[in-house]
Structure 1
Amino acid sequence: MDKLSLLMTEESNPKSTKLDEMSVSEILTLMNEEDQSIAYAVKQVLPQIESAVEKVASSFKNGGRLLYIGAGTSGRIGVMDAVECPPTFSTSPNQVQAILAGGEGAMYVAVEGAEDDETLGASDLKKLTINEYDVIMGIAASGRTPYVKGALQYANSCGATTVSLSSNKNAIISKYADIPIEVLTGAEVLTGSTRLRAATAHKMILNMITTTAMIKTGKVYKNLMVDLHASNYKLRERAKKMVGTITGISYELAEELLEETDYNVKLTVVMILAEITKDVAEQLLEEADGFVGKAVKLASLK
């Protein structure tokens, strides 16, 4: 028996051994019941997630990047989280990136064998010229993917902070990470299909890491995404609503002032709350490291 078959993520779930004989309702009920354990599994690794967030937030403050690297489903989850950061937080596409074994095309069509190449993981990272300010997060449900292992080894040699995310105990990639996260979601309803519970847990964790790190770097005011990139009708409407909610001004005035700031919600809000000009608001936001509340307080002290 090979070592892969001994992994928790490869075990057979005793509740689903007659999956092919179940009715649609029974299958859905079972999947739903099993999924309810995912949040609990994530709860068990909150301390490790917190450590990762602290490193990522520090990285962002120092001009560093968060780079996800993975293969198959794990890599695609990294892509999903990374591409949502620019519209949600107005970040550069370079700040949070995802590297997928087999290249961008592997997002849609599996590239067989790419995940088994340890040297490929390292060479893909080399192209990005990483340094000590970057955080490299290797994602592999099995915890043993050679591509991810090679990437983490290379990242360590560059002085970057390394984080691993897997769904097995004592994962191989954990040995190569400064912060190992092993979220134990157990045997899948469909044996070995880690696109189910393991992947759901991983997506939850990536969402937690980027969202919290963005909050800690001034991208959020109260519970509002005031640094969103208002690139379409829906987001422009959301921007107007946010400005109105925070400041109490009318929809029409919010629209007028947002036009003046090119739909920069943070800038507009500081202008209104502190009753200052656009130029002064820009200066105060810079002094406040992008935090709206802090900028408004600074204005009251001037």
Structure 2
Amino acid sequence: MTSTPADAEMSQYGQNGQYGDLRAQLETLTTEAFRPELAEIDQLPTLEIAQIMNGEDRTVPIAVAEQLPRIAAAIDAVAERAAHGGRLIYMGAGTAGRLGVLDASECPPTFNTDPHEVVGLIAGGPGAMITSVEGAEDSKELAASDLGALKLTANDTVIGISASGRTPYAVGAVEHARGLGALTIGLSCNADSALAAAAEHGIEVVVGPELLTGSTRLKAGTAQKLVLNMISTITMIRLGKTYGNLMVDVRASNEKLRARSRRIVSLATGASDAEIEAALAATDGEVKNAILTILGAVDGPKAASLLAESRGHLRVALQAAHGSTAT
């Protein structure tokens, strides 16, 4: 029988034990478990498959809910460091890395953050967003190198993301960051993971076996997205990037967002269209500043000064404005 390159590779792994060790590790992971009751799923009608998937997805928020105390504690720690200029850095490989990049990329338009304040790094670099980079996820050294390029500080937070909780790139990122005194969070979807053990804050959202064996872009990916939504959104709330549930730091970079800016000022103040246009014109389109000029009865420069003094917290600035106008 003629041997194939795959056979040769398998033999090589078998000789040094790497393949056997990896297979054994995968067989212990909940996210990799085989579900025999779904072995005939490809024979089912499309609607029935969709119903099964929908039922599976409903279990994800329940699994996330079980981790809420850990998530909240991690967010408070992130916000504390971010308030002192620290960055939020997501690191992962494959789907996990892409989810981190996605969440980071949404922060500038939503919360008017600098692109360097929330950063998403994927093993293998930007090209790995589209094409898999072979071997990148297996390198702890690559993670350390990527963090080295960012000149990590003790005020920064590094979140390693890995469905399995064993991906060397994510684990290596957390280990390297923790060694430099940065805050570390490990987000995985298996219990007792190496990633959670390496991090100061371990978040393990155990969603169970996937519909397709080992396809962690499904429930595990959904769980990771939900947790990342919480981390970035609530951190920004704590930093004063919202006023109530209004995105007062939204960046009006297109017509839709300019319309949204006007609506946010309207919802926050109840002012007339003319007042809103005048306030936005006086503050160069900055929503938070415009609200302060209306509710605090101050001019544009004073609004900017008060917000700088309050480190961007509109409620604190409003209290200061009312105090200054009262005197």
Question: Which one of the candidate residues 230, 238, 254 is aligned to 2:276?
Answer: 254
Q: Which residue of 2 aligns with 1:283?
A: 305
Deviates further, 78-87 or 115-124: 115-124
Per the TM alignment, residue 14 of structure 1 is displaced from its structure 2 partner at its CA by: 4.3
Q: C-alpha deviations, 1:217-275, integer Å up to 9, x for none?
A: 11000110000111111100000011112111222431232122121000000000011
Distance 2:36 2:318 in 1: 58
Determine the C-alpha separation between the residues in 1 that align with 2:317 and 2:183.
Answer: 31
Residue 240 of structure 1 aligns with an amino acid whose one-letter code is R
Find the counterpart in structure 2 of residue 296 from structure 1: 318
TM-score, structure 1 normalization: 0.98
Query: Which one has more relative contact order, counting CA pairs under 8 Å at least 6 apart?
Result: 1
Question: What's 1:192 paired with?
Answer: 214
1:274 corresponds in structure 2 to 296
| Conserved 8 A contact 2:91-2:159 | yes
Per mean C-alpha deviation after superposition, the further-off stretch among 249-258 and 227-236 is 249-258
Tell me if the contact between 1:241 and 1:251 (Cα under 8 Å) persists in the aligned partners: no
Residue pairs, 1:38-117, within 5 angstroms: 38-117=60-139
| Equivalent position SS for 2:186 | strand
Distance in 2 of aligned mates of 1:204 and 1:271: 36
Larger Rg: 2
Query: How many Å apart are 1:279 and its aligned residue?
Result: 1.4
Work out which of the residue numbers 15, 25, 35 in structure 2 matches 1:13.
35
Give the RMSD, CA atoms, in angstroms: 1.1
Shift of 1:17: 2.2
Which portions of structure 1, spanning 4 or more consecutive aligned residues, are displaced by more than 6 angstroms?
none
Match of 1:129 in 2: 151
Per-residue deviation at 1:278?
Answer: 1.1
State the SS of the aligned residue for 1:236: helix
Structure 1 CA distance for aligned equivalents of residues 50 and 36 of structure 2: 16
1:15 is displaced (CA, Å) by 4.2
Q: TM-score, normalised by structure 2?
A: 0.90
Q: Percentage identity across aligned positions?
A: 46
Q: Distance in 1 between matches of 2:197 and 2:69?
A: 18
Deviations 1:37-86 (A, max 9, x none): 00000000001111110111112110000100000000000000000000
2:187 is aligned with 1:165: yes
Report how far residue 20 of structure 1 moved: 1.0
2:8 match = none
**What CA distance in whole angstroms lies between the structure 2 residues aligned with 1:179 and 1:14?**
35
Unaligned runs of 5+ in 2: 1-22
Q: Residue type matched to 1:100 in 2?
A: I
Q: How does 1:192-231 map to 2 (within 5 A)?
A: 192-231=214-253
How many residue pairs are counted as aligned between the two chains? 302
Q: Residue 253 and residue 110 in structure 1: after superposition, are their counterparts in 2 closer, same or farther (change >3 A)?
A: same
The 2-side partners of 1:253 and 1:207 are apart by 34
Query: 8, 15, 24: which is aligned to 1:2?
Result: 24
